[in-house]
């Protein structure tokens, strides 16, 4: 009998395993941590804004605050009042100069305007917190408007203060203080009024036109 060839076992071909590339597990979203992160981020922004506001308020509180009041003239014959200037702030001011500017006046039926005199009498270079001093609108030994009170119908006076706030003395600031005097038939009564932008422009035009060395 013919010999039989041994049967070969057929091996099943094994396919190479394909690596699982690019399949990363995405962690489950934690809504709680996301909310916490949002809260922390916005809380930090809010605290920064609050800090800026507090700092701004502190600067405003420390900024110089000058006030002025009308007082009797230095000279009895002068119809223009003296001006008492006070530093109401917490810091001193330096390089202080003050001038009086008669914007308008009705005297004996005549209209006068744009008259300026005085730069502080005596000149006050430094004004400490709480310190007050009076400024004569006339020169130290003379009057500004020497006329009988009965002839003065009305008068508008402004005191212009130029100063440097300490410690930022590289800045130069100024304040306007306005006083209106009206005659009721017996005497001049003075009232404080808020200055306007047109008052400041008029003062600047006067300084420029007449080349007045102020400040």
Closest residue by Cα to residue 180 from 205, 153, 204: 153
Residue indicated by tokens 């400490």: 128
The C-alpha atoms of residue 51 and residue 15 are separated, in whole angstroms, by 68
| Confidence (pLDDT) at 186 | 87
Residue 21 half-sphere exposure toward CB, CA atoms < 13 A: 3
pLDDT of residue 65: 83
124 or 173, which is more confident = 173
pTM of the model: 0.68
Say yes or no to pLDDT of 200 above 60.
Answer: yes
Segment 156-170 mean pLDDT: 89
The percentage of the chain sitting over the pLDDT mark of 90, rounded to a whole number, equals: 26
Give the alpha-carbon dihedral of 142, 145, 149, 153, to 10 degrees.
-170
C-alpha 21/C-alpha 17 separation (Å) is 12
Length of the chain: 215
Measured distance CA(28)–CA(39) in Å, rounded: 20
């Amino acid at each position: 009998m013919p010999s039989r060839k041994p049967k070969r076992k057929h091996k099943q071909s094994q396919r190479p395993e394909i690596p699982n590339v690019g399949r990363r597990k995405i962690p489950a979203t934690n809504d709680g941590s996301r909310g916490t992160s949002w809260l922390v981020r916005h809380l930090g922004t809010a605290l920064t804004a609050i800090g800026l506001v507090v700092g701004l308020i502190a600067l405003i509180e420390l900024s110089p605050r000058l006030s002025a009041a009308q007082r009797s003239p230095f000279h009895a014959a002068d119809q223009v009042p003296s001006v008492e200037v006070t530093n109401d702030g917490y810091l001193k001011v330096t390089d202080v100069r003050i001038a009086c500017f008669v914007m308008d006046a009705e005297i004996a039926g005549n209209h006068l305007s744009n008259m300026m005199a005085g730069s502080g009498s005596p000149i006050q270079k430094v004004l400490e917190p709480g310190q007050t001093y009076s400024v004569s609108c006339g020169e130290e030994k003379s009057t500004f408007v020497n006329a009988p009170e009965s002839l003065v119908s009305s008068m508008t006076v402004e005191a212009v203060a130029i100063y440097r706030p300490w410690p930022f003395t590289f800045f130069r600031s100024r304040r306007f203080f306005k006083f209106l005097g009206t005659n009721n038939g017996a005497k001049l009564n003075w009232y404080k009024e808020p200055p306007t932008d047109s008052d400041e422009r008029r003062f600047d035009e006067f300084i420029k036109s007449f080349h007045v060395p102020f400040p």
